[in-house]
């Protein structure tokens, strides 16, 4: 099923979070995604608050940095929230921004090895299994959650390069693609993920989520989006965004769905002047696909 979501960027202060969450719920946004960027908001604290304030909204964490969090702690966080709000949390983990990981003393020499050890252990813990592991980065001695979820949520992993994308197909239930992913690169990512899953002998499909910068409105929105893409210093072929009314934004999202992506999550600029209105517009886009 093609899904539309929105992002609450940690560029906005925490006090703006609740109004944005409530606007997303009221506007019919199916899911709201959060980032755990250093050194800003905690993803799991924010997710719990958003779920408590709403009744329908699903909340995605895209993503929590694996080097910064022991896998047992991550499993405890996810299990606690999942038991309190069943079926509404979409947890994701990733390599973390390497310079931030270095600042905290948690940078690893091989992020791929960490993912290969971490994600399977996390999925096993959430499934209620007792886990013993002695890897390069993940060490567990007969660890089992006392309160595992009744149904383990799907675990997403972030990927960008071909090796990481292949690995997310092998070990995760879904993959989060970063902002700036072109439609062509998204199609290539879907293929790499599928290849990894097939090589690992895993049945069924793997969900793919892509972030897409969006601005609703005319020339002013277009200028804000262009400025943000320039600030991020993205190559020209990665400066894809969706600007205009709900129909114009939906047209760009449709291109990603046609490439095999399952969910397009719309990202406001860091200087979006009206987050609540943005959430309402995302709801309008979501309704175009729901119908």
Q: What is the pLDDT of residue 234?
A: 72
Per-chain mean pLDDT for the chain? 96
Q: What is the pLDDT of residues 14-51, one digit of tens each?
A: 999 999 999 999 999 999 999 999 999 999 999 999 99
CA–CA distance from 253 to each of 90, 235, 258, 265 (Å)? 20, 20, 9, 9
Query: Which domain covers residue 116, as residue numbers?
Result: 3-290
Does the predicted TM-score (pTM) go above 0.85?
Answer: yes
Distance CA 133, CA 142 (A): 8
* Average of per-residue pLDDT across 251-262: 97
State the Cα angle at 193 between 79 and 96, rounded to 5°: 55
| Coil, helix or strand at residue 111 | helix
Distance CA 3, CA 139 (A): 37
Instruction: Go through 36-51 and write b for each residue having 16 or more CB atoms within 10 A of its CB, e for each that does not.
Output: beeeebebbebbbbbb
> Count of domains in the chain?
1
Asked if pLDDT for residue 162 goes beyond 80, the answer is yes
| Coil, helix or strand at residue 137 | coil
CB atoms within 10 A of CB 260: 16
With a CB cutoff of 8 Å and minimum separation 6, the contacts of 124 are 131
State the Cα angle at 193 between 71 and 65, rounded to 5°: 25
Question: Residue 291 — pLDDT band, cuts 50, 70, 90?
Answer: low
> Which domain CATH number covers 182?
3.20.20.30
Which residue's structure tokens are 């719309």?
Answer: 266
């Amino acid at each position: 099923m093609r899904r539309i979501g929105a992002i609450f960027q940690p560029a906005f202060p925490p006090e703006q979070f609740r109004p944005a969450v409530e606007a997303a719920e009221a506007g019919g946004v199916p899911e709201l995604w959060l980032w755990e960027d250093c050194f800003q908001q905690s993803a799991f604290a924010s997710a719990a608050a958003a779920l408590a304030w709403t009744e329908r909204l699903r909340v995605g964490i895209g993503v929590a940095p694996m080097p910064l969090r022991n896998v047992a702690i991550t499993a405890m966080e996810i299990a606690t929230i999942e038991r309190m709000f069943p079926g509404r949390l979409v947890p994701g983990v990733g390599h973390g921004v390497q310079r931030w990981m270095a600042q905290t003393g948690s940078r690893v020499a091989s992020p791929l090895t960490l993912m290969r050890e971490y994600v399977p252990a996390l999925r096993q813990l959430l499934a209620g299994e007792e886990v013993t592991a002695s890897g390069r980065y993940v060490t567990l001695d007969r660890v089992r959650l006392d309160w595992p979820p009744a149904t383990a949520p799907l675990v997403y992993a972030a990927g960008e390069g071909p090796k990481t994308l292949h690995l997310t197909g092998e070990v995760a239930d879904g993959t989060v693609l970063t902002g700036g992913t072109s439609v062509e690169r998204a199609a290539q990512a879907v293929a790499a993920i599928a290849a990894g899953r097939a090589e690992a002998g895993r049945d069924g499909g793997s969900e793919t989520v892509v972030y897409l910068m969006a601005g609703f409105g005319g020339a002013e929105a277009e200028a804000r989006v262009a400025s943000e893409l320039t600030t991020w210093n993205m190559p020209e072929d990665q400066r894809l965004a969706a600007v205009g009314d709900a129909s114009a934004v939906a047209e760009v999202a449709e291109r990603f769905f046609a490439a095999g992506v399952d969910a397009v999550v719309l990202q406001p600029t860091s200087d979006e002047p009206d987050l609540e209105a943005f959430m309402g517009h995302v709801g309008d886009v979501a309704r175009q696909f729901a119908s």
